[in-house]
Structure 1
Amino acid sequence: MIKISFPDGKVREYEAGVTPMDVARSIAEGLARKVLVAEVNGEPWDSSRPINADAQIKFLTWDDNNGKSTFWHSTAHLMAEAVESMFPGVKFWVGPPVEKGFYYDMDLGDKHISEEDLRKLEVKMAELAKQNNPYLRKEIAKDDAVKYFADKGDEYKLDLLNGLKDGEITFYTQGGFTDLCRGPHIPSTGLIKAVKLTNIAGAYWKGDEKNKQLTRLYGVSFPSQKELDEYLQLLEEAKKRDHRKLGKELGIYTMDDDVGQGLIMWMPNGTVIIEELEKLAKETESAAGYKRVVTPHIAKESMYLTSGHLPYYADSMYPPMELEGEKYYLKSMNCPHHHKIFDAEPRSYRDLPYRIAEYGTVYRYEQSGELFGLMRVRCLHMNDAHIYCTKEQFESEFRAVNDMYLKYFKIFGVDKYVMRLSLHSKEKLGIKYVNEPELWEETEKMVRDVLISSGIPYVEVQDEAAFYGPKIDVQIYSVIGREFTLATNQVDFSQGRSFKLHYTTADNQSETPLIIHRAPLGTHERFIGFLLEHYAGKLPLWLSPVQVKILPISDKFLDYSRKVLEELKKADIRAEIDDRSEKIGKKIRDTELMKIPYMFVIGEKEVNDNAVAVRIQGKGDAGTQPLSEIILKLRDEIKDRQ
């Protein structure tokens, strides 16, 4: 008998050779119907694969990210089977799951797949799925695997086999399709109820443009047609909310090849949003006891060697400039500069916690293929700050940073979020992480304890910490469920010693402070990209570049419109007049398209009554209101950041 342990701590005994599906059925048939795959001792495991020794087990369903990934990977194999039936002789490279769905790279020889073929492939996949064929795992000797693919003349799989050895090679078969794959897979094709093939693209073999270009087919699948229909509807909504589309339409930002890839130029409307976000951050941080600083955009190599960024982070930094026999780097992070500010004057325990903040500009050399609108750029404006504190002060300071996140979430209407606690890897100490195992354990526990005591939802992720300490990555979700990484809250037990930072304790001893790196609003680039998609471009009044558009019905009402404009400006309300010789209906439609929150329509009645006819974005006519009253109302709405 072997012992199987469950996540809730319970233990059951089973005969050796029991499968995860057997275990699930022993608990409940309903559970067994939901299980897609298992984790056995943390390793992905087919539900039909035997377990021969004591083990910990976790069942994964569609509700788990790894369950979805397995479902999509299995659907990629189903798609390959359909492609092989329609295009005999096709050769396959790799077919992994991605964030939403899957793809498969393939060599079709002199054949091509059309959009019409995609629909035919969907029909074929549905036909194959109904056969309810099991996904069968088979361990195979390397020589046998090489012979199998050599007989097929498949140079792509033979290349993959070059990096594998006996004991590492498995084949998976479903129906008439067999592929080299490490797995795992879902129990059978019958679980795949709805498929949509979404895109045809080109992809160089191994990502090298010197190699042959393969055909890449993308798709997505679901356990029900209803879920697919909901996903496709969400996809259409996401297209409307794409920040790249909205950024161009609303005049938020622009990019130009003469400036360079990934380098954003903020237009007047975008600059207004930046200034409002900075105003919010400055007010919030001032109330929390932060002091503002400004640091240069470049620094000497020696500082980044001291910080450790060059050994650990060099690939993400721009190459150095040679000046007067010294190497200078564009700033890729603000922390070393802030450490120098801390070190510029003697510090005592009475100065701690010492909090300094900066909307610092940093430069990161992201790979060209990874650049994406505002989400992945090479010049970033970061809501950065560093807190220098004692170990005794850490809990309250770290909690206060998390509370600041929660305040911002409320302001921006972020209802769904999770903190991702990123931990180190013991195997990579001294390579990817500072080699201080005891300090890693201590600081990771400190962060975990704060999260638990605060009741903040969080998950733990291995091998994603900063090189100098554990961190929290803040994951937020837009109103349509799209996930964004907003910012980080990091613990640093290393750089204080690297920079020889110290403060004088109450008993006149020298002590190194603990450092918290935090950026609650992340970068302007990523956060504004999120806001555009979250609000579908309809920013709240306080954040809108133009808050009121004044729409005179005809030119004879221009003088009064200018008077209204002056009154709005006196109240610090951003407004413009549409003085075009267009019909009022077109002016209203154009203003709606620019997603301006309020419209003041001006006609004879409004002039006579010293009033305005108010229209609200997305709500329409709000009636005629005295000018003085509506101005007071708008000022309150802006002041409260409603």
Structure 2
Amino acid sequence: MAGTRFQLLSVFSRQFSSLNNNVTTVQPKLRIDEIRGRRLSIFDKEHKRQQGLIPRLEKIEVAYEGLNNETTMLIMNKGVSTPYNCAQHINEQLLKRSVVAEVNGQVWDMHRPIPSDCMLKLLHMKPEDPHQATLVNKAFWRSCSFLLGAVIEGAFQDEISVCLHSFPPANVRSGSFVYDVQLNLDDWAPSQNDLRQIAASFQKFVRQDHVFQRLDVDSSVALKMFEDNAFKAEQIPHIAAKSSTGRSITVYRVGDHIDISRGPMIASSSLVGRCSIAAIHRLNSKFYRFQGVALPSEIHINHFAFGILESRARKLNPARIPELKMN
């Protein structure tokens, strides 16, 4: 991401002669690379700890329901094997097409371990069942918001403080996926060239085929991960209180980026195809709503049709604007 950040910087420097005047004197406490490195260290340590809690491998039966309701029985490892691993045992085409899974009727990440005997379905981007189509579309849109946050966080030079706030629940009908971000830039008016550069960075990032890795952690661990982000630190206790244990937070890792989301997410960033950063709306001083539109990699439309989607995505997304309690 360092190269991407430099490219964007050169564009910002050329396009905004007053950029340096717009940057406040607030400096980030850590470089983004240092912040991400510390989060990754905490994530990896916690993941290793949880793996160590599995005393020995136990076998489970996974009944995969395929075409024409045909069932294939698989013997997998409890708490270790994932829907992705199950797909590996069936066929290559299924492995490539599967976006999310259903485990005993619950939408499930492809790389999330299966805890017990179950019925398994693997969903792709063109399901015939309307309910499944809704589930898949929401997972895709949610994942695009997550990826947008990853790109934004690493897109600016270090003296421009970037603080990710949150992204709203996936709503395909809104016309755009969203991430709300605080930047220490006053009255920034991005040009079309800036949008194109961010879109190019987004496209480059998703093509690197990053897996979405899920991890449920205690709220105390999550607070350590995001101690540099006042917004996340404020959100974590409220999110944890709504969990089944009252203390659990779900985080995802994509590449070197970690963020909070209940999920589920798509299997890999490579499932995202054509995309565009349609608009960046200033919500208030230093607070911006980044909006994008994307298609799954297996869906192709002509330039004119995609232009219609982009035009719709430029309108301010109607999702609720977060109430900011911090400066």
Superposition TM-score, scaled by structure 2 size:
0.63
SS of the equivalent of 1:110 reads: coil
**Contact residue 276 and residue 292 of structure 2 kept, 8 A:** yes
1:57-136 equivalence runs, <5 A: 57-63=120-126, 64-87=133-156, 88=158, 89-95=161-167, 96-99=169-172, 100-110=175-185, 112=188, 114-115=190-191, 116-136=193-213
Task: Tell me if structure 1 keeps the 8 A contact 2:211–2:255.
Answer: yes
**Per-residue Cα deviation, 1:176-206 (whole angstroms, up to 9, x for no partner):** 21111222222222222321112222447xx
SS at match of 2:115: coil
Return closer, same or farther for 1:23/1:216 CA change in 2, 3 Å cut-off: same
- The answer to whether the Cα contact below 8 Å between 2:108 and 2:264 also exists between their aligned partners in 1 is yes
Distance 1:44 1:101, change over 3 A: farther
Change (3 A) 1:171 1:113: farther
> Per-residue deviation at 1:109?
2.3
Distance verdict in 2 for CA 1:146–1:196, change over 3 Å? same
Instruction: Please list every run of 5 or more consecutive structure 1 residues that lacks an aligned counterpart in the other structure.
Output: 205-211, 240-368, 371-642
Find the aligned partners of 1:90 and 1:236 in 2 and give their Cα distance: 25
Query: What is the 5 A alignment of 1:453-468?
Result: none
The Cα offsets for residues 458-483 of structure 1, whole Å up to 9 and x where unpaired, read as: xxxxxxxxxxxxxxxxxxxxxxxxxx
Secondary structure of the 2:300 match is helix
Identity percentage of aligned residues: 26
For the aligned residue pairs, the C-alpha RMSD in angstroms reads 2.9
Q: Number of residue pairs matched?
A: 232
Structure 2 counterpart SS, 1:193: strand
1:14 matched to which residue of 2?
75
Match of 1:227 in 2: 301
When residues 101 and 70 of structure 1 are mapped into structure 2, their CA distance, relative to the original with a 3 A threshold, is: farther
1:32 to 77, 95, 111: 95
TM-score between the two structures when normalised by the length of structure 1: 0.33
Secondary structure in 1 matching 2:291 = strand
2:142 counterpart SS class = helix
Question: Aligned with 1:227: secondary structure?
Answer: coil
Structure 1 distance, partners of 2:278, 2:311, is: 16
Distance in 2, matches of 1:143 and 1:236, equals: 41
For residue 190 of structure 1, give the secondary structure of its aligned residue in structure 2. Answer: helix
CA contact (8 A) 1:194 1:223 kept: yes
1:339-378 equivalent positions in 2, closer than 5 A:
none
- 2:312 and 2:143 map into 1 onto residues whose CA distance is 26
> Aligned AA for 1:70?
A
* Residue in structure 1 matched with residue 24 of structure 2 by the alignment: none
Give the superposition deviation at 1:234: 4.4
Q: Mapping of 1:167-246 within 5 angstroms? A: 168-203=248-283, 214-224=287-297, 226-227=300-301, 229=303, 231-235=305-309
SS in 1 for 2:148: helix
Question: Which protein is bigger by CA-based radius of gyration?
Answer: 1
Q: Secondary structure at the match of 1:91?
A: strand
Q: 1:128 to 1:45 in 2, by over 3 A?
A: same
After TM superposition, list the pairs within 5 Å mapping 1:303-452 onto structure 2.
none
How many Å separate the matches in 2 of 1:83 and 1:69? 21
Q: What are structure 2's unaligned runs of at least 5 residues?
A: 1-58, 127-132, 320-327
Letter of the structure 2 residue corresponding to residue 217 of structure 1: F
Aligned partner letter, 2:272? I
Q: SS of 2:184's equivalent?
A: coil
Instruction: Indicate yes or no: 2:63 matched with 1:5.
Output: yes
- Equivalent-residue separation in structure 1 for 2:170 and 2:113 (angstroms): 25
Asked if 2 retains the 8 angstrom alpha-carbon contact of 1:3 and 1:11, the reply is no
Conserved 8 A contact 2:101-2:123 = yes
